[in-house]
Structure formats: C-alpha cells, structure tokens
Amino acid sequence: MLLGLGILARLANRFGLSPIPLYLIAGLAFGQGGILPLVHTEEFISVAAEIGVILLLLLLGFEYTAEELVGNLKTSAHAGIADFVLNFLPGFITGLLLGWSTTTCIVLGGVTYVSSSGVIAKTLGDLGRLGNRETPTVLAILVFEDLAMALFLPVVTGLLIGGGAGKTALLVAVAVAAVSVILAGAVYFGRRLSSWINSPNEEVLLLLVLGLALLVAGIAAELNVSAGVGAFLVGIALSGQVAHGARQIFTPLRDLFAAVFFVFFGLQTNPGEIPPVLGVALALAVVSAITKIAVGWWAAKKAGIGPRGRKRAGLALVPRGEFSIVIAGLAVSAGQEADLAPLAASYVMILAIAGPLLARLDGGKGARRPDGNLAVPGG
C-alpha cells in the first residue's frame, strides 16, 4: 500500500498536482466493494489515519503563536458566524427536501458546514502557501469551525441518543471547559512548556512532542472534543526553537501518516452505493462550494487582503473531510436515514478531490526565509 502511495505521489508531482485526490481514489478502489479490498490492513490504516490527522494539525499549529490565534479569533468572529449560517443551511434544507427527520437534517447541515482542516493544511503545505497573507484568515475560520465542532458534536450525540436537554447540556459544558483549559494553558504556559521540551537531541524532541500531542489529543477525544483541536493547540503552545526543530523532524512523518489518512477516507465508501445519491451530492457540493468561496473572499477582504489573496482564501476553504465523516458516522451508527452514509461520503469525496484542484487556480506561493520560517508575500 505504501509503495503504491509513493508511486501515486510521484505521478502527482510529475504533473504539478497535489497527491490528495489520487490518495482518495486509491482508497475508493481498495475499500469495501472496490477492486481489491485491503481486509488485513484495516486496523493499521484506521490507527495510522488518526495519527495522520493529529500530525497535520500539530504542524499547522507550529506556524502560529497563541497570541496570534486569540487575535485571529477575535477579528474573525463575524466571518465564523457567517460561515456557519451560509454553509449549515444548504445541508439542513436539503435534508428537509428529502423528507428526513429534523435530527438528520441537523446532521447533514453539520456535514456541509465544516471544512476539512486536514485536507486544507496538506494542500496549503503542498502549494507553499502557509506563509501567505491570507492564510491566517483561513486558519482563523478553520479554528472557529473546530471549536464550534466541540459544541456541535456533543449536541448531535445528545439528540441521537435522546438523553434529554439536561444530558446534552452537560456534554456541551464538559466540551467547552476542556477547550478552554487547553487554550488557556497554551496562552499562559506555552513558553515555559517550550523551554522544558526543547532539546538538541532529535530523538528526545521527537518523543516528547509526539507523546504530548497524542496525550492531549486523546484526552480531548475522550471529552468529546476533536482530537485534532487538542493537537492543534499543542502546536501553538510550542514556539521558538522547539517549534522550528520539531517542524523539521515531523514533516516526513506527517506526509507518511497523512497519506494513509486520505486513503482511509476512500476506504469508508462502497462504490456501489454512490450512483443513486450522486446527483444530490453533486448539487449540494456546488452550492456549498460557492458559499465557502464567498465566506473566504469576504473574510479576506475585511482583513485587508488583495483580490488574489481573497480568491485563494475562498478556494482554500472548499474541501470537506474528517469532521464531515465523523458527524455522518454518528447518525449512521444511531440508525438514521439509510441514504445519509453514501450521500455524505459522495459529497465529501467530491469536495475533497475538487478542493485541492480548485486551490491551484491561483499560482501564488509562499517562500521560506533563511531562518526556516515562512515568509509573507505581498497581497
């Protein structure tokens, strides 16, 4: 499998494309109902995919400090709210038109609302845009979405379980408290933590940073907060020399496990279930891609970014991925509408493949300064 992914990555590089779409198609070909199901590697792929999401967001967190994160959240609150309204409604309304229950409509609204931090982080890295002026705006919207998911997932879980308003409120309170504690720790103790972890020995640095990221991600997941949110906050808590050294060590590991993560997406889909819902999924993808582009354009304009940067910001937000699959999976496990799983899977596949391709419509790239940090190009 890994050899095949390497060949696909080389093929993508030869044509100047991101390898993400090829990874997803490979997963579709070798999943249930595919050409050759990878039955004996399912456990490895599942665990490696989880690690891939954690590493993607951990390295994304290295690019920003806690102060920058808090500042971006404050300045992007309006964009985050607009993002929720414009991108939740297409899924919710589609569910109503299909005659689904209110709970299932809310689930589909969540599927269309949240962008894929994993796919976007990989795409921005592949295109060298992590240091572009519009990237902090994109990141702020993604963080807003991830934090919103810390509230949305417990709410959906409570609705599906039917535990009543009291149980749902308790789940939400625990999730909010967990995110607040991790974020406060990143802001107030980040420098002290960085100083303690920093080491000239790469083995020590690798084990300490990876161990901390997995521990916090695991705790976050147990508290119904995204594991990715926990890993991202660990990344922003580590700054200075430790972030620079860890970035160099973890980049190859991220690329390895991220490739498996995208294959895992494809493995979740049975190709035979796609045709009946493909038309609805395609229409929903077109509408919600337009709404995401509009949000990114507007948010970047408010941040003073030029037209090309606004275009890049909007196109970068198009992919859906890990959270959409998680949300749909909760409803499927609870015995909701049978068509929800293939519809959500088809929708995610369309935008996870189209998103990285659309992101290439503007060729602007970032560059690294001599100190290894990303330079910020103009407009």
Q: What is the mean pLDDT of residues 292-297?
A: 95
- pLDDT score at 372: 40
pTM of the model: 0.74
Residue 376's pLDDT band (cuts 50, 70, 90): very low
Higher pLDDT, 144 or 176: 144
Q: What is the pLDDT of residues 103-120, one digit of tens each?
A: 899 999 999 999 988 788
pLDDT above 90 (res 336): no
Residue 363 is predicted with a pLDDT of: 56
pLDDT band of residue 291 (cuts 50, 70, 90) is: very high
Interatomic CA distance for residues 232 and 183, integer angstroms? 10
Percent of the chain with pLDDT strictly greater than 90: 25
Average pLDDT, the chain: 82
C-alpha 197/C-alpha 178 separation (Å) is 23
pLDDT of residue 163: 62
Q: pLDDT-derived band of residue 378, with 50, 70 and 90 as boundaries?
A: very low
pLDDT at 204: 92
Q: 77-110: per-residue pLDDT in tens?
A: 889 999 999 999 999 999 999 999 888 999 999 9
Q: What is the pLDDT of residue 317?
A: 94
| pLDDT greater at residue 164 or residue 218 | 218
Query: Among the ranges 56-70, 78-92, 248-262, which has the highest mean pLDDT value?
Result: 78-92
Segment 32-62, tens digit of pLDDT: 666 666 666 777 888 888 898 889 888 877 8
Most confident of 1-5, 361-365, 366-370: 1-5
Q: What is the mean pLDDT of residues 116-134?
A: 83
pLDDT class of 295 with cuts at 50, 70, 90: very high
> What domains does the chain contain, in order, with CATH numbers?
54-359 (1.20.1530.20)
pLDDT digits (tens, 9 = 90+) for 175-217: 777 777 777 777 777 778 888 888 889 999 999 999 999 998 8
pLDDT band at 225; cut points 50, 70, 90: low
Give the integer Cα–Cα distance in Å for 58 and 6: 23
User: pLDDT grade, residue 294 (50/70/90)?
Assistant: very high
